[in-house]
Amino acid sequence: MKFKNSFYLPSGRVFLLETDDGYPVECTEMRDVSVQGKQHYEVRNTQDPHIIWKHLKPYEEKWLLTVSTQKGCVHNCKFCDVADLKFKGNLSKSEILQQVNFLLSSTPYVQESAKVKIGFARMGEPAHNLKNVLGAMFSLFEFDRKFNWLPCFNTILPRKTTEGLSGEDVLKKVIDFKEDVYKGFLHLQISCNSTDEQKRKELFGGADVLSIKEIVNYINNYSSPITQRTVTLNFIVMKGVPIDVDYLMELGLNPERFAVKLIPLNNTVQSQENNLVTLANYSNYEDLEALRDKFKQHKIPVVIDAIAKCEEAGLCCGQLAHIFV
């Protein structure tokens, strides 16, 4: 895999590498910009990178990486700019690790970190490449840095993977791996986006995915406790897209096993073309907090994952690749 290009954001970089067969693959390294209260408002709304720089967490505390798992994606999610790149198959375990190696060798000054969160989530659906993705996660320990790795498996959870696994098989393999290999320190995040299954299907471009009911049942009945990191249900919040907290509670959403993440819709080409509009963002953040509070009333751990306004351009998956394909 060779270096092709890079794109700078106030909090980090998006890299474009190229596979031996000429496919552009994105990976990223970012720092966290987490601040509370009045300063949080300031960071979210600013167009001034200096304000972001002032609030970056030290690498030693937390570092955020992402790597791609496939050349493009078989799915066609209406909010994602990977969707309209050509799909050319899985990345090998070695190609996934080459991205990690590239990110580490581009940042030789980061030798230790209490938490390196690495999302196998940039381009591609990792469930379709499970063996290579879990194999790459396993090999993270071999990198010669003093890191506490926190791998993240972000999935829309297809009912059947291209390798022939069921959605339940994927859940079992990922959770077993999380508990056995990472002693719970692996983050499984399942893209939900709506509690209306018809709407979900539409947003996933018609993909047949496990229903939220099936997911909740499976996780609630998983034979052992879910330790350290509970399973996170991700909701990209969009206008006209229902998120029914009471329905989730009726399904049995258990705070011992689940958390929820609320994410404003990023400004992607696909979301604009498909007329998707975020429920809340910089100007009406309170609406997002109101939804968060509904989950909190039921004691469901919930985080809001809002990016800063001046980070938005080019941050989204597939956007750098698009410039060069």
Give whole-number Cα distances, 11 to 3, 15, 31, 298, in Å. 20, 13, 5, 34
Comparing CB distances to ligand SF4, the nearer of 121 and 259 is 121
310 binds ligand SF4 (CB under 6 A): no
Alpha helices in 55-158 (DSSP H): 93-105, 130-139
Contact 173, 130 (CB under 8 A): yes
Comparing CB distances to ligand SF4, the nearer of 256 and 305 is 305
Candidate list 26, 32, 95, 125; residue touching ligand SF4; CB under 6 A: 125
* Calpha distance 6→232 (Å, rounded): 30
Comparing CB distances to ligand SF4, the nearer of 171 and 310 is 171
Contact region with ligand SF4 (CB under 6 A), list: 14-22, 103-111, 121-129, 234-242: 121-129
156 binds ligand SF4 (CB under 6 A): yes
26 binds ligand SF4 (CB under 6 A): no
Q: How far is the CB of 105 from ligand SF4 (least distance, A)?
A: 26
Nearest to 93 by CA among 60, 116, 126, 115: 126
Contact region with ligand SF4 (CB under 6 A), list: 6-14, 72-80, 97-105, 241-249: 72-80
Contact 213, 251 (CB under 8 A): yes
200 binds ligand SF4 (CB under 6 A): no
77 binds ligand SF4 (CB under 6 A): yes
Distance of CA 201 to the CA centre of its chain: 19
- Torsion angle, alpha carbons of 218, 224, 229, 232, to 10: 10
Candidate list 52, 73, 174, 210; residue touching ligand SF4; CB under 6 A: 73
